[in-house]
Amino acid sequence: MCGIVGYIGTQKASSIILEGLKRLEYRGYDSAGIAVQKNGRFDIAKKAGRVEGLIKGTAAQKFSGTTGMGHTRWATHGGVTDANAHPHLSSDGKFALIHNGIIENYESIKRFLLSKGYTFASETDTEVLCNLIAYHYQKEPAVEDASRFLESVRKALRHIEGAYGIAVMCADYPAEIVAARKGSPLILGVGDGEYMLASDVSAIISRTQNVVYLKDGEILHITVRNFSITTLDAADVSPVFDRVSWSIADADLNGHAHFMEKEIFEQPAALENTMRGRFSEDGSTANFGGLNISAVDFRHVDRFHFLACGSAWHACLVAEQLIERFARVPVEVDYASEFRYRNSPLERSALFFTFSQSGETIDTLAALREAKRKGYKVLAVNNVVGSTIARESDGGIYQHVGPEIGVASTKAFTSQLLIGAMLALYIGRMRDLSFSDGVEYVQALKGVPDLVRQVLAQAPHIKEIARRYAKFQDFLFLGRLSLFPVALEGALKLKEISYIHAEGYPAAEMKHGPIALISEQCPSVFFVPSGEMFSKVVSSMQEIKARKGRIIAVATEDCALPAGLADEIIRIPECHEAVLPIVATVPVQLLSYYIAVELQRDVDKPRNLAKSVTVE
């Protein structure tokens, strides 16, 4: 949630910050604001609504200072108003603060500060922290001290419960920013004579590719000349420099109408990047270089636990089907948000995997920590090098699909499906999957990008279907076995970006209740594979048709559907069962996208959603 940008250098801060906020708007777009420091005061502009409204409706772009910070908000405490927008000022005007996260004990702190005469202009928990810093600052000796600002922030944070990524400026300390994180990401960009601070590298990549990822419990102090990192206990931390591997061009639309469209069509290349260098020389299995677990130890795992949220959870459900099918090992899939509160019995030889595109999903991070607390090894699948989940896991697999800007996941999801299929192969070959079956499986995986290209070529056909079906307000998505999670994902995509109610079910479960919804006004999207499930799925389709329900069939080319059974047919290539979920996902991504466009929705910034969920 929420996007943070900060700048210290020699150039005009406002234009750099506003550009960064536009690139971070996918993290929250309820309101936006900016504070620039000049001559011992703050120039502040903030406004409910999009960043563009902040730029057009205020003097923000005219602020002339060279130190500043900006924020784009996803509302938690307090409504979507100008007053609740960040930055917030302390009641004495000394401090400006922006914040990503939730301060859980803000009410008790607010009562204390009210008793000390501090006042509040908003409903937010953030303003409480800003005034708490001011309180500790006033308790310090009146004499000037180079560390007084930093120490006031440190002391205030020791009283805070909850999650935060913050940036603070003090009127008495020109050209300085103090930042800190606990549970919410913050990245320092080190440029040529300048420093930048951001929640995501997309905000700073146009100015530098050299970054330092802050860890939980660390405090960053930036001046014009240098920076330092310490802990809450004031211990010095040696910074670890990383270099971002992608460029600003990867985060641009490149001629597409929306990032979601761009990222759907990037999937063949993204899948190739996910696979690159990850097959054995004999072509019979997958290789993963960063798992940090030996084949012997992997062989002794008797149950896998997968933890994820949202689309990543759907990818884990597919991985469960494939690992049990090809490796014959039981798999448990948990919502990460529920796992830490459960007390389920766990096998001693279990191995955990977390799936998170951003590597910052707070529920998944909490589940990872809970599993490690119980003594288990946890491996991670994520797309962001240097993310918190990547750092705290025991090993893992990077997706290598490049930045995903659209809020609704597309290329990151199919990449996770691919990694799940590769894990099933990797584990299966350690057990009882034969060499020849492994070779066949690898060839199927290598062929996925071309299969996806074939589906993308049908975009005009799918766009026409979307135009005819955009008027409906309810949809069912139905599939069997590994295509049931794809049905869940299809329903989620439609809900996320078009605001149409949609539900995903196993096709056979339709007659156990959801069939009550069937009418001419509730279309059903069926995933129809060849093989043993074909006749079962066709039977479910006939039950829908008997009740005058409309049917859109996503069917493999070798399926001979009874004449007139489906109102619309989207054909996908016949393929290996391990890659079928990937190929079947692409049509419903396109269908959801084109329906949302037909309804003139804000596809990349759907209401109430943000790309990275960093609050519980």
Q: Which residues are catalytic?
A: 2, 611
DSSP letter string, 383-450: S-TT-HHHHHSSEEEE-------SSS-SHHHHHHHHHHHHHHHHHHHHTT--HHHHHHHHHHHHTHHH
Burial 384-410 (b: 16+ CB within 10 A, else e): bbbbbbbebbbebbbbbbbbbbbbbbb
Residue 144 buriedness (CB in 10 A; 0-12 / 13-18 / 19+): exposed
Instruction: Write the CB contacts of 391 (distance below 8 Å, at least 6 apart in sequence).
Output: 213, 215
Tell me if 180 sits within 8 A of 4, measured CB to CB.
no
| Identity of residue 265 | F
Instruction: Measure the CA–CA gap between 568 and 41, rounded to whole angstroms.
Output: 63
CA-wise closest residue to 186 among 217, 155, 225: 217
Q: Which residues have C-beta within 8 Å of that of residue 574, sequence separation ≥ 6?
A: 530, 556, 557, 558
Yes or no: say if 31 and 84 are a contact pair by the CB < 8 Å rule.
yes
Phi then psi for residue 306, to 5 deg, are -110, 135
Angle (nearest 5°) at CA 529 between 272 and 470: 80
Cα separation, 426 vs 415, in Å, equals: 16
3-state helix, strand, coil in the chain (%, to 5): 40, 25, 40
195 closest CA partner among 21, 7, 5, 3:
7
Cβ atoms 473, 599 nearer than 8 A: no
Cα distances from 258 to residues 130, 251, 266, 408, 591, in angstroms, run 37, 11, 12, 11, 15
Closest alpha carbon to 165 in 112, 109, 217: 217
Phi and psi at 467, nearest 5°, equal -60, -40
The type of residue at 459 is A
